[in-house]
Amino acid sequence: MVTVTPLEAELLAVAGSVPDPELPVLTLEELGVLRAVHVRGADAVEVELTPTYTGCPALETMSADIERALHEHGMREVTVRTVLSPAWSTDDISAEGRRKLREFGIAPPRVRQDTGPVTVALGPTRTTASAPAPASAATGPELDPIRCPHCGSADTELLTRFSSTACKALRRCLSCREPFDHFKEL
């Protein structure tokens, strides 16, 4: 069991309050990419950060923003280390983060019941309340339909698998006709 000192908890809160550069409605803590903060001396700290995916273009900005926040909090030496294992998953997004995504107009990723590896497969482009994504060996466990963050309808369709970032898909609600981003499950 890892023991966290009061100072490490304080610095974790400071680093965790940094907004995500691509989704500024979320903090790095809510996104679940901030793994740990370790004090390495009187005014030195090491931060462990896991990107949402390998090659994430926001990683450099996240690191610089964490460094700036911790320097402003009195830490002279800040090292941000990229940690790839365990890999980040959309399951790491907090309940508060999911709520904020929905309020911001982005359908949050669906919660997976299975905690094993994520199977990558091309699934149906349309979901409805009466026809959730099917379960099969190719697609993994059944997931709830993707709901429109504007009106709550489960009658939505995929427009494109990639949106403003690689983490999101662009969908349209067939009830209110509004387009919206869906934070894809990883």
Averaged pLDDT, 92-100: 96
Q: Measuring CA to CA, how many Å separate 44 from each of 11, 36, 76, 136, 157?
A: 11, 14, 6, 50, 49
Sheet strand arrangement including 34-41: 34-41, 44-49, 77-82
Q: Which tens digit of pLDDT belongs to each residue from 42-82?
A: 899 999 999 998 888 899 999 999 999 999 999 999 999 99
Domains of the chain (ranges, CATH numbers): 6-82 (3.30.300.130), 93-186 (no CATH)
Q: Which tens digit of pLDDT belongs to each residue from 126-161?
A: 665 544 444 443 444 567 899 999 999 999 999 999
Phi, psi of 151 (to 5 degrees): -120, -10
Give the confidence band of 98 by pLDDT, cuts at 50, 70, 90: very high
- What letter would DSSP give residue 90? G
Query: The pTM is what?
Result: 0.80
Helix (H, G, I), strand (E, B) or coil at 19: strand
Q: What is the pLDDT of residue 178?
A: 96
Report the share of the chain in percent with pLDDT over 70. Answer: 83
Q: How does the average pLDDT of the chain come out, rounded? A: 87
Q: What is the pLDDT of residue 135?
A: 44
Averaged pLDDT, 90-109: 95
User: Distance between CA atoms of 153 and 9, rounded to whole angstroms?
Assistant: 40
